Structure 1
């Protein structure tokens, strides 16, 4: 009885160890699988991390480039802003300068207008003197035959018809024309008595002109003598004119060198035989006006 019992106990021990060994093996296999799975997972995870790292690096590089672009755009924006501000300042300065220039131009135009008006007034003095002389002559001749004895030349001079003053080839003043010259002497006196007018007059030139035909007296001598005869008569018939204003008068003979009409016919000869009255304005008077204007600058 006792032997069987021992045998049974030994048999139970022997059955226990194989089962324990199987269990250990199973656990070891499970642990191996777990370790292997962990290793595989680590490999996969590491690979994914490397990919993610590369993607992150690429993304970081792209972000850096975008940041550089943004920085460049910011710099360009700041530069553009500075240029715009500078342009605005330049525009504002230009507007100010334009306004100043406009004022300067307006002032200059006003000054030039004043100077032009003064110069025109000087020019009008000559016209006014000639008009007064013309009116005086026409008034005297108003009851004559109606012939046009006084005309205005292209140069603005007054032209006296030669036939009213002289016979052909003569420089002796006709008796019937002396009354005309008497009135002319009075007219000249009145004109020269005006100080404002007189200060601009340099000379009142009596010009003698002849036609191109040759006569018993040379054309040069005839034209000079006729002009001198007119001036001498004006001074003698009006002593005040000769005494006070004789220095303003001049006699000049131009022979046939300044014809009004070209041609070798009766019409041209008649037009070219004439006495012209020219009022010469002082050049210094005009220069003084200009100098006064320039000194104001």
Structure 2
């Protein structure tokens, strides 16, 4: 009875074991199936990702190539720019050198112009200097003013010596007064002393003795009177000093200006007296002035030719 029970139990256990084992195998197979599906899906996704990555990589390589080409072009342009900069620097250096040369030329020209200006001023001052020497010499001998306080000789605004007409002539006369002759004696000696200087004399073209009247009477009459007065002064200067006539007579001339160059515009007797006068003007040689200018132009021309 016991043996039969054991056998029955053993048969029952065997029957329970196989369904359990079958279930386990089915579960494992199902799991493997799902794992295979997951692997397949993963492969598909990975393949898509790889294809996308390859596409991105290809595009990146194309962009890199394009960037490299742009960089190459930029490098070439940079070299061109560097070359332009080097050329510009060379040209700038040449320009600076030329500017320095021009500065030197300008400086030399300024020095030449300064020298020319000084020489021309020297010639211009010579005229005033001659008259100033004559004026000083006369004043030294006969004084600066008359007894009434009038100046005997003066320098006008135009640089001419002005002789008080009342000291030399009576009103409406061209006959020299005795005191006028004494004044002209000193004037003749003064001119001789000035003209002895060769450097002064070589720049003088003429010494013009001018006669001037007031506006009383006709212009024709005043022109004749002013000319006669100027001529009387020149004749007396030559008579007073024969050396002046013999050695330097060629420099003297007489001219009459009538009433047309007044120094006072008033109508009073005092103003009219101022206009009745003898003026002495020194005329410089135009050729000497022109020679100075020509010499400067020649020097300047040579300077530029050397450059």
**TM-score (normalised: structure 1):** 0.83
Structure 2 unaligned runs (5+)? 1-25, 302-307
CA–CA separation in structure 1 for the residues paired with 2:132 and 2:35: 136
Deviations 1:133-160 (A, max 9, x none): 1112212222852431212111111110
Contact kept in structure 1, 2:143 and 2:152, CA below 8 Å:
no
Are 2:302 and 1:293 aligned?
no
Hey, what does 2:11 align to over in structure 1? none
Q: More displaced, 196-205 or 138-147?
A: 138-147
Deviations 1:39-80 (A, max 9, x none): 766644442332122101221122123223322332332233
Are 2:177 and 1:174 aligned?
yes
SS class of match (1:288): helix
Which of 253, 256, 261 is 1:250 aligned to?
253
CA–CA separation in structure 2 for the residues paired with 1:178 and 1:61: 119
CA–CA separation in structure 1 for the residues paired with 2:150 and 2:260: 26
Q: 1:123 deviation in Å? A: 1.0
SS class of match (1:75): helix
SS class of match (1:94): helix
Hey, what does 1:50 align to over in structure 2? 51
CA–CA separation in structure 1 for the residues paired with 2:199 and 2:138: 23
SS class of match (1:156): coil
Hey, what does 1:73 align to over in structure 2? 74
Hey, what does 2:118 align to over in structure 1? 117
Deviations 1:240-264 (A, max 9, x none): 1111111111100000011111132
* Structure 1 segments (4+ residues) deviating >3 Å: 32-46
Which of 160, 164, 168 is 2:163 aligned to?
160
Count, aligned residues: 271
Structure 1 unaligned runs (5+)? 1-25
CA–CA separation in structure 2 for the residues paired with 1:274 and 1:72: 93
Hey, what does 1:274 align to over in structure 2? 277
Which of 185, 193, 205 is 1:202 aligned to?
205
Hey, what does 2:8 align to over in structure 1? none
Hey, what does 1:234 align to over in structure 2? 237
Contact kept in structure 1, 2:225 and 2:258, CA below 8 Å:
yes
Which of 212, 219, 224 is 1:221 aligned to?
224
**TM-score (normalised: structure 2):** 0.81
Are 2:267 and 1:264 aligned?
yes
Residue correspondence of structure 1 range 60-99 to structure 2 within 5 A: 60-99=61-100
- CA RMSD of superposed structures (Å): 2.6
SS class of match (1:173): coil
CA–CA separation in structure 1 for the residues paired with 2:76 and 2:284: 72
Residue correspondence of structure 1 range 133-152 to structure 2 within 5 A: 133-142=134-143, 144-145=146-147, 146-152=149-155
